[in-house]
Structure 1
Amino acid sequence: MTTLIAIPARYASTRYPGKPLVTLKGPDGEKTLIRRSWEAAMSVKGADRVVVATDDDRIATHARAFGAEVVMTSSAARNGTERCAEVATLLPGHDLIVNLQGDAPLTPPWFVENLIAGLKADPKAQIATPVLRCSGRALAGLLTDRKAGRVGGTTAVFNAQNHALYFSKEVIPFTATDFPPDAPTPVFHHVGVYAYRPNALDAYTSWNPGPLEELEGLEQLRFLENGWPVLCVQVDSRGREFWELNNPSDVAIIEKMLSHSSHA
């Protein structure tokens, strides 16, 4: 069973134009967001191929310069899943396609490895995505973003079979409890990684975005709105901090976490 990791990257982000080429400082020097995301993908065990999928020549030129394989995709792709569907068509023959978002350079390799294992272990599952139980500190960060009007991380709720009930940019479920920084909470942070079987990508591109996807701006809701279950695979942070680059203010947060991870 072969696995392809695709890293969708577009320059024309509404909230943060040029985001893939933003430079992040770390213990290993300054590297762009897309390079750090590619390096995270390259460290995943069991991946047979890693590609950067973009429609922008600036991103493509930069990615090729640091050694990445690049697949040029259409500018018509509305989100990363549609871009991955195009990659699956251009590079056929893979059993699993992983969508590693280009704005999540802190994604530990075992998140992706567990995701791949979870999908392989459930032959009926067509789509899977990792979820991470928030600590009190992580939950406080999400709530602070929302109070400030910033779009931060996405949260997920799921049933006893680990099938997603909903994903939201609001913090769900609601809790009035204040948790100590290191205490576990009932809130799960959705990690921006997906694994699909090829037929799931074929189906996805045959549907138009639904009202929930358009309201939340979350691509995975298209599967739920069309009755396709999304398997949520719980992952363990192993003490590693996780954050996505959604807003310019996230740069300092991620740089701080990169510095901490060097001492982990």
Structure 2
Amino acid sequence: MAKLGIIPARYASTRFPGKPLIDINGKSMIQRVYEQACSSASLDKVVIATDDERIITEIKRFGGDYALTRADHQSGTDRCAEVAANFSGFDVIINIQGDEPYIDPVQIDLLSSCFEDPQVKLATLVKEIHHEEELFNPNIPKVVLNAAQEAIYFSRQTIPFIRNAAPQDWVKTFQFYKHIGIYGYTTETLLKITQLKPSLLEIAESLEQLRWIENGYKIQTRVTDLETIAIDTPEDLEKIVKIKGN
């Protein structure tokens, strides 16, 4: 199966405008994401999907591949779909977050491995939760899995509710998972799900993957033990510079 890695990158951001171009220890964030993705052994090609000439100028500077997209996309998934429709010969699309400059290529390869099963059409990663601050943080989506490691629900709320234990003991009595926001889709499935109308669950939780579940799609997961660090605010940038240092 031929796999195309796509990194959606937009200049506009409510909390951090222009963040793909921010400098992180001598390299722009978008360059760091691109280089990490290109180190994946499972991807046949990597492109950055953007609608902004400033980002394109930066991509050309470091010699990356890009695809110019429309400016009106509502999500990275929609931007990936436009690119996928214009790149023939790829069976699987891996949607790599453009704000995770140190994403580990091992995570990309783990997600890609889901598609060794021809029944898998959609896939993502999850990570075990071991700390209360993650468990009760509404900015960290939680996910419930079935016996086949398929996601059956995502929520910003802590799920499931543990009836017979105090909340401070939940993380000790049940294995909770948080969502790691990297997606894989067969090309055919990606083009289909982006034609679906926003669903009630999606609107309620502001989580697009609920639209797919609500419309009957199965989402295969793999458990990673690697942490991802996303940059959403200038404060996040300060933290990651201190952590990584290079």
TM-score (normalizing by structure 1)? 0.83
1:11 aligned residue: 11
1:208 is matched with which residue: 167, 178, 197? 197
Indicate if the aligned counterparts of 1:6 and 1:97 stay in contact, CA closer than 8 A: yes
CA deviation after TM superposition for structure 1 residue 13, in Å:
2.1
2:133 aligned residue: 140
Comparing 10-19 with 62-71, greater Cα deviation is found at 10-19
CA deviation after TM superposition for structure 1 residue 108, in Å:
1.2
1:58 aligned residue: 54
Which letter does structure 1 place at the counterpart of 2:179? H
What SS does the corresponding residue of 2:234 show, helix, strand or coil? Answer: coil
- 2:86 maps to 1:90: yes
Cα separation, 2, equivalents of 1:199 and 1:227: 15
What 5-or-longer segments of structure 2 have no aligned partner? none
CA deviation after TM superposition for structure 1 residue 63, in Å:
1.5
- 2:143 maps to 1:156: yes
Residue by residue over 1:41-93, the C-alpha shift from the partner in whole angstroms, topping out at 9 and shown as x without a partner, is 11111211000001111111112211110100111211011111111111111
- 2:163 maps to 1:167: no
Which letter does structure 2 place at the counterpart of 1:220? Q
What 5-or-longer segments of structure 1 have no aligned partner? 147-151
1:247 aligned residue: 233
C-alpha change, 1:85 and 1:178, in structure 2 (3 Å) is same
Indicate if the aligned counterparts of 1:95 and 1:198 stay in contact, CA closer than 8 A: yes
What SS does the corresponding residue of 1:206 show, helix, strand or coil? Answer: coil
| Identity percentage of aligned residues | 39
C-alpha change, 1:174 and 1:258, in structure 2 (3 Å) is farther
C-alpha change, 1:45 and 1:212, in structure 2 (3 Å) is same
CA deviation after TM superposition for structure 1 residue 179, in Å:
8.8
- 2:172 maps to 1:186: no
C-alpha change, 1:196 and 1:74, in structure 2 (3 Å) is same
1:125 is matched with which residue: 120, 125, 133? 120
1:177 is matched with which residue: 168, 185, 190? 168
1:149 aligned residue: none
Which letter does structure 1 place at the counterpart of 2:146? N
Indicate if the aligned counterparts of 2:85 and 2:191 stay in contact, CA closer than 8 A: no
TM-score (normalizing by structure 2)? 0.88
C-alpha change, 1:127 and 1:106, in structure 2 (3 Å) is same
CA deviation after TM superposition for structure 1 residue 103, in Å:
1.2
Cα separation, 1, equivalents of 2:143 and 2:154: 4
- 2:101 maps to 1:105: yes
Calculate the aligned-residue CA RMSD, in Å.
2.3
What SS does the corresponding residue of 2:37 show, helix, strand or coil? Answer: helix
How many residue pairs get matched? Answer: 242
C-alpha change, 1:67 and 1:190, in structure 2 (3 Å) is same
Cα separation, 2, equivalents of 1:90 and 1:12: 24
Residue by residue over 1:115-148, the C-alpha shift from the partner in whole angstroms, topping out at 9 and shown as x without a partner, is 111222x211100001111232xx52564x54xx
Indicate if the aligned counterparts of 2:51 and 2:71 stay in contact, CA closer than 8 A: yes
C-alpha change, 1:17 and 1:125, in structure 2 (3 Å) is same
C-alpha change, 1:172 and 1:22, in structure 2 (3 Å) is farther
